[in-house]
Amino acid sequence: AAEVEGTPAGARERHAELAELADDANWRYYVLDTPTVSDGEYDAWMRELRELEEAHPSLRTPDSPTQKVGAPISSDFTPVQHLRRLESLDNAFNDADLAAWQARAERLLEADPGPYLCELKIDGLAIALVYEKGRLVRGATRGDGRIGDDVTANVRTIANIPHRLTGEDIPDVLEVRGEVFLLVEGFETLNEQLVAAGKPPFANPRNSAAGSLRQKDPRITAQRALRMIAHGVGTWEGTPLPRTQSAVYDRLREFGLPVSELYKVVGDLTEIDAFIEYYRQHRHDPEYEIDGVVVKIDKIALQGQLGSTSRAPRWAIAFKYPPEEVNTKLLDIQVAV
C-alpha cells in the first residue's frame, strides 16, 4: 500500500474522512447554530482524530480540526479582527486527565502551579467586549479565534453589559472576555415558543444563546433573556494588570462588569476535586446551564510562562460533566422537523 511519510493509506483516509465530518459539524454548530450530531458523537470523532495524530504525527497539519478553534464566520455580520486571539479550552473527563494537566504544568514551570481558581463552565458562547476609555465600543463573537462577527448593536441590548465602566483607574483599552448565555427560564420559554410556531427548537442552551445573539435585527436579541458573565481579559492597557485571575475579577466587578460569585481559589487537586463534585451535585443551582468546571492557574505570571498551544491555554482546563439527556431529546425533534 502507498505510504506518505510512513503513514499508512488507511490511516490517512480515515483521518481525511473524520476531518471532513468535523469541519462540517463545526460549520453547522458555530455558524448555523443548528448541530445535526450530538456532542458525544462529535467528541468521539475528535478523540479518534487525536489518536490518529498521536500515532501518525504527519497527519497533524495546521488545518486539522484538532488544531483549530470554532469555525470560519459567515458573511451575515461585519468581520472583526480580535486584539488578541480567543482560545478554546482543553478538556478533562476524569481525575486522571486533571492530574495529568496539573503535572504537566508543574513540569513546565518547575514549580508548584497553585493556587488554582475553580469556576463554572457556562454553557453559552464566547464574547469579546472592547472598552476604550471606559466606553463600550465593540462586541464580537469568537469566530475562529482571530476573526469574529461584529455583534456590537446586539450586545448593547444585553441587560447586564455596561455601556460605560465605573470606578477608579479604568484601563485605556480593556478587552473583556466572557460568556453570553440565556437564563434557564428563557431557554425553556424560547423553545416552547419555537415549537408552538412550528419551528425547530434549539438543541442546547449554547446554540440558543448563539442564535439569539447573532440576529440581524437587534430588537429580536433584546427580547431574549440574554446575560453575560466575564471570565477573562485579553488586552489591558494603561493601568497595571492585577497579579492574579481572582484580582482581575475583583477589578472587573469594580468597573461594573458582571462577574460570577461562584468561584473558589484552592490550593491543590483534592480541593479542585471537591469543587467539581459539589457542582456535579448542584449542577442546576445557577440561573444558567453549566457543562463543567473550569480550573485556571491563578497567578497571571505563571499563565504567561505556560502560554498556549495552537488552540487552548496550557494554564487552564475544562472538566466536563457528562451531557444531559434533554439535549439529545431536543436534537431528535430538531432532526425530525
Q: Does 245 bind ligand NAD (CB under 6 A)?
A: no
Q: Does 180 bind ligand NAD (CB under 6 A)?
A: no
Was 134 annotated as part of a binding site? Answer: no
Share of the chain residues as helix, strand and coil, in percent rounded to the nearest 5: 40, 25, 35
Q: Does 278 bind ligand NAD (CB under 6 A)?
A: no
Q: Positive or negative, the Cα torsion across 27, 31, 35, 36? A: negative
Whole-angstrom distance, CA of residue 226 vs CA of residue 241: 29
Was 142 annotated as part of a binding site? Answer: yes
* Residue placing its CB nearer to ligand NAD in the complex, 12 or 226: 226
* 242 membership: H or E segment, kind and range: none
Q: What is the CA radius of gyration of the chain?
A: 20
Q: Does 35 bind ligand NAD (CB under 6 A)?
A: yes
Whole-angstrom distance, CA of residue 83 vs CA of residue 65: 23
User: Is 121 among the residues known to form the active site?
Assistant: yes
Least distance from ligand NAD to the Cβ atom of residue 58, Å? 24
* Residue placing its CB nearer to ligand NAD in the complex, 12 or 142: 142
What distance, in Å, lies between the first and last C-alpha atoms of the chain? Answer: 44
Q: Does 26 bind ligand NAD (CB under 6 A)?
A: yes
Q: Where are the beta strands (DSSP E) in 142-172?
A: 147-149
Q: How many residues bind ligand NAD (CB under 6 A)?
A: 22
Q: Report residue 45 CA to chain centroid gap.
A: 19
Active-site choice (68, 121, 133, 216) = 121
Alpha-helical regions (H) of the chain? 9-26, 39-55, 95-109, 152-155, 184-196, 205-213, 218-223, 245-254, 269-281, 300-306, 325-336
Least distance from ligand NAD to the Cβ atom of residue 33, Å? 11
Which of 12, 231, 251, 299 touches ligand NAD by CB under 6 A?
A: 231
Looking at the chain, the number of H-run helices and the number of E-run strands are 11, 13
* Residue placing its CB nearer to ligand NAD in the complex, 8 or 283: 283
* Residue placing its CB nearer to ligand NAD in the complex, 138 or 231: 231
Q: Are strands 91-92 and 316-320 parallel, antiparallel or unpaired?
A: parallel
* 27 membership: H or E segment, kind and range: none
Whether the CB-CB separation of 313 and 306 falls below 8 Å is answered with yes
Q: Does 29 bind ligand NAD (CB under 6 A)?
A: yes
The residue sitting closest to ligand NAD, measured at its beta carbon, is 126
Was 253 annotated as part of a binding site? Answer: no
Task: Please list every residue from 85 through 124 that binds ligand NAD, using CB under 6 A.
Answer: 88-89, 91, 119, 121-122
* Residue placing its CB nearer to ligand NAD in the complex, 191 or 245: 245
Q: Does 42 bind ligand NAD (CB under 6 A)?
A: yes
Q: Which residues bind ligand NAD (CB under 6 A)?
A: 25-26, 29, 35, 37-39, 42-43, 69, 88-89, 91, 119, 121-122, 126, 142, 179, 231, 294, 318
Binding positions for NAD(+) are 39-43, 88-89, 119, 142, 179, 296, 320
Positions marked active-site: 121
